[in-house]
Chain A
Amino acid sequence: MQRTNILFSDFIKGLWQQNPTFRLLIGMCPTLAVTSQVQNGLAMGLATAFTLLASSIIISIFRNFIPREVRIPSYIVIIATFVTIVSLFLKANFPEVSKDLGPYVPLIIVNCLILGRQEAFASKNPVYRAIADALGMGIGFTLSLMVLASVREVLGMGTLLGHQVIFGNFRPWVIMLTPPGAFLTLGLLLGLVNIIDKAVKARKEKK
């Protein structure tokens, strides 16, 4: 029972309390760059989540073997291996997605979300907890990217996942697709998340 509880809290914290995008504000570069369309946000989120999960497992297994002094280079090599696998896999099976994501796939290597979780969690905890943590963080990251991308795609193109969702005399807000649109959306969503979080906490205190 105790063990399931720990696993559950390891997993669930990545979705809200320590959500990488909206609460920890890490891994911002791909977050802002690839979220102009839901499809790209989803692909980026899944690629990052897979890399995070795979490298967390390996690093957690070998956490006692890797000497502390060379842990960062070791982590980078392990992460880079998985990212290259993802990149080759995308190129071979989803050439269109791979073209759209461009240089942002190889850049997952230096995404501080992944290195950060290895340093803060996987290198100090047993494998089963590292898996729960990586799954929570990975899913939280993917969902955040999709929320951000949905807002931008709907307002910027009037479509969602490529399907028309706004009809009539709607003129797309082109700015939402450009970098300023990414910052605007992120800022407003961060504010919204903070308001919700405060409201939830206030309710808990009353009880």
Chain B
Amino acid sequence: MKQSFKMIFSLCLIALISAVILAKVYMITQPAIIANEKKATENAIYKVVNTATSYKESKSGQTDIFKCYDENNKFCGLAFVAEGVGYQDLIKVMVGVSTDFNKILAIEVIENSETPGLGNKIVTPWFENQFQNLSLQNKITVVKVAPSKDSEIQAITGATISSQAVVDIINNKIEELKGYK
């Protein structure tokens, strides 16, 4: 009896002390963590809608949409996060589109765990820049040679699945949001 009391008491005491310490550390670090996340999102928004100087958050269904305004406070584009399954895990892409959904302004892959050296080349400027000013009149398609139409993207050599995944993720999200004002 005395033995089991001692066991319960010491385990409870250890857990209690741990909880107090962790609560304190959490309180100290939380503001910085939230600030970091906000800054990362903000940087991505300003990168994909590069004329933007301010933005407003709104929602369409489950998706956060960032309405961007330029220095004259004119509505100059929309940014949103599209996510979906890649070759290994979730890929998250920040997409900037023109106000009328006619073309993509730019994209940035913000999260991926694709194969290092192959699939994760989706974060390279060479791949991302292909999406700049891409027409949205038709669905975006992936090709393995140099693109001939203005809605085509050239796949990364050895990483067709990752390239296709990024394009599918963007296509799906745009289909879902089209017509959003």
A residues with a Cβ closer than 8 A to B are: 36, 65-67, 69-70, 73-74, 77-78, 80-81, 84-85, 88-89, 91-93, 95, 99, 102, 156-157, 172, 174, 177-178
A74 touches B10 (CB 8 A): yes
B130-147 interface (Cβ within 8 A of A)? none
User: Inside 8 A of A36's CB, which chain B residues have their CB?
Assistant: 116
B177 interfacial by beta-carbon distance below 8 Å: no
A82 to chain B, nearest CB (A): 9
Q: How far is the CA of A160 from the CA of B4 in the complex (A)?
A: 55
> What residues of chain A lie closer than 8 Å to B115, measured between beta carbons?
178
- Binary contact readout B8-26 vs A (1 if CB under 8 angstroms, 0 otherwise): 0011001100100110011
Interface size on B, residues (CB 8 A): 24
CB of B26 within 8 A of CB of A88, answer yes
Q: Let me know if B40 is at the binding interface, CB within 8 A.
A: yes
Interface residues of B (CB under 8 A from A): 3, 6-7, 10-11, 14-15, 18, 21-22, 25-26, 29, 32-33, 36-37, 40, 111, 113, 115-118
Other 14 A-B pairs with CB < 8 A, given A66-B10, A92-B32 = A67-B7, A73-B11, A74-B11, A77-B18, A78-B14, A80-B18, A81-B21, A84-B22, A85-B25, A88-B25, A91-B29, A91-B33, A92-B33, A95-B33
B10 touches A102 (CB 8 A): no
> Cβ of B3: which chain A residues have Cβ within 8 Å of it?
67, 69
What residues of B have a CB within 8 angstroms of the CB of A93 in the complex? 32
The residue in B3, B11, B15 that gathers the most chain A C-beta atoms within 10 A of its C-beta is: B11
Which one of B6, B11, B22, B116 has the highest number of Cβ atoms from chain A below 10 Å of its Cβ?
B116
